[in-house]
Amino acid sequence: RRQIDYLKEELAKYGWTCREQGFEKETPQGPVRFVNLRARFGKTPNFLDPVRGLLTCHIDTKQGIDGFTGANDGASGAAAILETARILSGEPARAGNLELVFFDGEESFAEHMDSDDGLYGSRHYASAMQQPLPKWMINLDMVGRQGKKIRIPSMTPQSMYRVYSRAIRDLGYSTEEWGVSGYAILDDHVPFMERGVDTLNLIDDFQDGNWWHTSKDNIGILGEKSFQQTGEMTLHILRQLLPDQPAT
């Protein structure tokens, strides 16, 4: 509750209006109440109006791990989106064609995610989308680690791969830090991909090092450079995908 209230307060400072999307799902621990948070730009946006794209992350933290705070795996994506929202408030035409979504329930209740356990928030949101669907979605997951190795999934559509590759070239980023995975990745982009939405999942190589889902994932592993690059990358891609003109 405190986390969602904090996100609402910060987004309101930059002119974004939030709406909670609550739902209940059956889990290995029984029925659980989840809450996604949606945000659109402006004082009285109509959340039923179509938008061109979505910028998303997850805000839940995996349970049952001693000392685990989820600084990178969860919090970093939300932090990057808050700063992106602040900057986009100065570009209202773009902001008006975008919805920000903070997913609950990305993590599984069992040790490992599978088709039935995990991605609760994104599955619910994607299944509830009405036509016309967004053209694309960008998901940020684990984007703040010092020495990060972002690897987009091998199944990324060509349309999104092109804007990603162009951003790497234009920004002069290292392909060691910004590359492509050799395999598919199960994350919050998948339910949207299954509905035909073009997706781009910016995710750290969680097998690089021994921090993932351990107490080592704390604020000490985060780096200013990683957040700066993630923000610049996200903005560069959004500016390619969103026209600089009023939403229609």
3-class SS of residue 140: strand
pLDDT value at residue 248 = 42
Backbone angles phi and psi of 50, in degrees to 5: -70, 150
Helix, strand, coil share (%) of the chain residues, nearest 5:
35, 25, 45
Where is 103: in which H helix or E strand? strand 98-103
Q: What is the pTM of this model?
A: 0.97
pLDDT for residue 245: 57
Q: Report the catalytic residues.
A: 106, 141
Contacts of 88 (CB under 8 A, 6+ apart): 14, 41, 94, 95, 98, 235, 238
Q: Which CATH architecture has domain 2-241?
A: 3-Layer(aba) Sandwich (3.40)
Q: Which residue in 148, 146, 180 sits closest to 164, CA to CA?
A: 180
Q: Give how far Cα 193 sits from Cα of 92, 121, 201, 205, Å.
A: 27, 15, 11, 20
Distance CA 244, CA 238 (A): 10
What 8-state DSSP symbol labels residue 133?
P
Q: What is the pLDDT along the chain (248 residues), one digit of tens a residue?
A: 999 999 999 999 999 999 999 999 999 999 999 999 999 999 999 999 999 999 999 999 999 999 999 999 999 999 999 999 999 999 999 999 999 999 999 999 999 999 899 999 999 999 999 999 999 999 999 999 999 999 999 999 999 999 999 999 999 999 999 999 999 999 999 999 999 999 999 999 999 999 999 999 999 999 999 999 999 999 999 999 997 754 44
